[in-house]
């Protein structure tokens, strides 16, 4: 299986605790594919695939512990040596250990066809071995026990309300399998507010909080309301001194699909009060992990915006480390004598007066023409600016081509007298090579290999390159456009006016 693999690694009092996803396929019902799944065990029955999360023979869907003694051992360990801390997880993507209360919080990403499939679980006395065995979070027998967050706030239980839960139950019944019987009996007793009967799994635990559909924070109904999808990607309790009091000691969680970070108020016992709505802290951010740094500040990886975020109370930021030295003054650019022959750009042509590119017919029937990429002065009522253009005009000349013809276009790079700027080695994935160019015919169905429409072609300042375009006889007529496409200077050159219309 290719989905829902390992989740998180954390340390609890010198022990290594790690989580494993169920390893099942998510696009189809996966009870184990004998001929397709390399992890399928032919002798271990029909309840594999997603059901491995409930079976002790498999590591899938488990949270496990390697003790400090095991970590220091030179013996190769097997799953029989490892303590199964809990089972019944789908994708326990993130975990957080709150040392002050010896609690393990678990964020489990759900299947997604119900209203409360994203679930947060909590395990008490997490540093100690449970003499009764592994806790059970219920997957795949059950996910959420409510239909949506609104019903959860009202305490209106509604287990097994999703098609996937019902499909899995039907499969077990049809094949005479009792894989989920212990969970089913426990859930029934829970719903009826009864003691668990002997046939129930005594270690099944309902989620501390569950969500997917509905407004999580009614005070901000316009935020975090993407009801179609969700992915619980981080759980954390900050017990430090660098965050505002309203966030300290509170359960914080994030969802990178809904793009929000929330926290719960605490009840009178100092525990998360999940009977009330959580509060939005940050919107439009996709946090996937949070950790406290050596400076006592809370850091988060924002996957959505590709950044690391540092959070602390204003005026109480990092102060335990040495101050970062002030930035050095940028070096002064070398003297540059600007060319004095920069022409004024032509622009603001009427709709039927834009100059056209000139082609010359050759003896072999093909056409040839010259296009110059160079510096121009662009003057309006607002002032004067220096930019780049084709054939000293903005936009460039209209290029006309016809199907069944061959065209040779000479592109001259007339920026030999201008500074080269940063190179690719110095500014990877940034603005670079401002004087290097090439040409892309946007929308045409022609060869993308040199000397055709190859966007990797490099034309250095002062050089000329001849493109050859063979227009297929079945090419659709239409209006297209052309522009530079050298990676690093594409936006700089195109947005500055180096573009034109192309008509087939």
Query: What are the DSSP calls for 75-105, one per residue?
Result: SPP-TTTSEEEEE--S-EEEEEEEGGGTEEE
Mean pLDDT of 374-392: 91
CB distance 414 to 372 below 8 Å: yes
CB distance 407 to 446 below 8 Å: no
Q: Who contacts 93 (Cβ-Cβ below 8 Å, separation ≥6)?
A: 7, 8, 19, 21, 107, 108, 109, 231, 232, 233
Tell me the CA end-to-end span of the chain in Å, nearest whole number.
49
The per-residue pLDDT for range 159-201, each reduced to its tens digit, is 999 999 999 999 999 999 999 999 999 999 999 999 999 999 9
The per-residue pLDDT for range 119-133, each reduced to its tens digit, is 999 999 999 988 999
Q: What percent of the chain is modeled with pLDDT above 70?
A: 92
- Comparing 35 with 187, the larger pLDDT belongs to 187
Lowest mean pLDDT among 72-76, 191-195, 239-243, 307-311: 72-76
Specify the pLDDT at position 317.
61
In what helix (H) or strand (E) does residue 374 lie, and over which residues does it extend?
A: strand 367-380
Mean pLDDT of 341-369: 89
Specify the pLDDT at position 327.
64
Specify the pLDDT at position 318.
60
Answer whether residue 312 shows pLDDT above 70: yes
Specify the pLDDT at position 469.
97
Mean pLDDT of 97-114: 94
Q: Which two tokens stand for residue 20?
A: 């494993």
- Which phi and psi angles does 99 have, rounded to 5°? -65, -35
Specify the pLDDT at position 19.
95
Specify the pLDDT at position 3.
63
Q: Which two tokens stand for residue 423?
A: 């190179």
Answer whether residue 493 shows pLDDT above 50: yes
CA distance 144 to 164: 12
The per-residue pLDDT for range 207-259, each reduced to its tens digit, is 999 999 888 999 888 788 765 789 999 999 999 999 999 999 999 999 999 99
Q: Which two tokens stand for residue 89?
A: 């997880």
Answer whether residue 39 shows pLDDT above 90: no
Answer whether residue 1 shows pLDDT above 50: no
Q: Which two tokens stand for residue 103?
A: 């609690």
Mean pLDDT of all residues in the chain? Answer: 90
The per-residue pLDDT for range 288-305, each reduced to its tens digit, is 999 999 989 999 999 988
Specify the pLDDT at position 266.
97
Mean pLDDT of 295-324: 80
For residue 420, name the pLDDT band (cuts at 50, 70, 90). Answer: confident
Q: Please, what's the largest Cα pairwise distance for the chain?
A: 96
Specify the pLDDT at position 329.
66
pTM of the model: 0.65
Supply angle C-alpha 259, 265, 271, rounded to 5. Answer: 115
Q: Which of 291, 297, 290 is nearest to 319 (CA)?
A: 297
Answer whether residue 468 shows pLDDT above 90: yes
């Amino acid at each position: 299986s290719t989905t829902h693999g390992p989740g998180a690694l954390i340390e609890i009092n010198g022990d290594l605790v790690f989580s494993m996803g169920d390893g099942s396929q998510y696009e189809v019902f996966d009870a184990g594919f004998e001929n397709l799944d390399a992890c399928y065990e032919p002798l271990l029955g029909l309840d594999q695939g997603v059901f491995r999360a409930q079976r002790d023979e498999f590591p899938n869907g488990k949270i496990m512990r390697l003790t400090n003694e095991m970590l220091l051992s030179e013996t190769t360990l097997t799953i029989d040596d490892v303590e199964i801390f809990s089972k019944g997880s789908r994708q326990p993507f993130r975990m957080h250990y709150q040392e002050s209360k010896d609690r393990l919080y678990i964020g489990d990403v759900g299947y997604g066809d119900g209203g409360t499939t994203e679930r947060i679980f909590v395990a008490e006395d997490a540093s100690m071995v449970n003499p009764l065995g592994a806790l059970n979070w219920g997957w795949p027998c059950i996910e959420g026990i409510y239909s949506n967050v609104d019903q959860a706030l009202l305490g209106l239980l509604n287990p097994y309300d999703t098609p996937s839960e019902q499909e899995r139950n039907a499969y077990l019944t049809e094949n005479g399998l009792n894989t989920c019987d212990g969970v089913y009996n426990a859930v029934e007793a829970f719903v009826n507010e009864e003691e668990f009967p002997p046939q129930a799994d005594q270690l099944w635990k309902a989620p501390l909080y569950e969500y997917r559909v509905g407004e999580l924070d009614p005070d901000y109904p316009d935020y975090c309301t993407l009801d179609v999808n969700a992915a619980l990607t981080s759980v954390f309790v900050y017990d430090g001194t660098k965050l505002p009091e309203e966030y300290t000691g509170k359960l914080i969680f994030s969802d990178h699909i809904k793009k929000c970070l929330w926290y719960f108020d605490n009840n009178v016992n100092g525990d998360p009060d999940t009977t009330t709505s959580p509060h939005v802290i940050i919107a439009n951010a996709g946090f996937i992990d949070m950790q406290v740094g050596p400076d006592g500040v809370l850091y988060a990886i924002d996957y959505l915006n590709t950044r690391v975020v540092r959070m602390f109370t204003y005026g109480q930021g990092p102060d335990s480390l040495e101050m970062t030295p002030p930035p050095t003054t940028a070096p002064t650019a070398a003297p540059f004598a600007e060319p004095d022959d920069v022409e004024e750009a032509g622009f603001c042509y009427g709709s039927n007066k834009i100059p056209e590119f000139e082609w010359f017919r050759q003896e072999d029937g093909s056409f040839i023409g010259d296009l110059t990429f160079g510096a121009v002065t662009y003057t309006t009522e607002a002032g004067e600016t220096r930019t780049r253009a084709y054939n000293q005009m903005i936009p460039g000349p209209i290029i006309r081509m016809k199907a069944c013809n061959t065209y040779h276009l000479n592109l001259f790079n007339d920026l030999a007298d201008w500074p080269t700027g940063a190179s690719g080695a110095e500014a990877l994935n940034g603005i670079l090579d401002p004087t290097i160019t090439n040409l892309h015919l946007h929308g045409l169905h022609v060869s993308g290999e040199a000397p055709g429409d190859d966007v990797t072609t490099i034309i250095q300042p002062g050089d000329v390159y001849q493109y050859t375009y063979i227009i297929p006889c079945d090419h659709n007529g239409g209006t297209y456009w052309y522009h530079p496409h050298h990676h690093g200077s594409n936006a700089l050159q195109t947005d500055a006016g180096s573009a034109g219309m192309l008509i087939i």
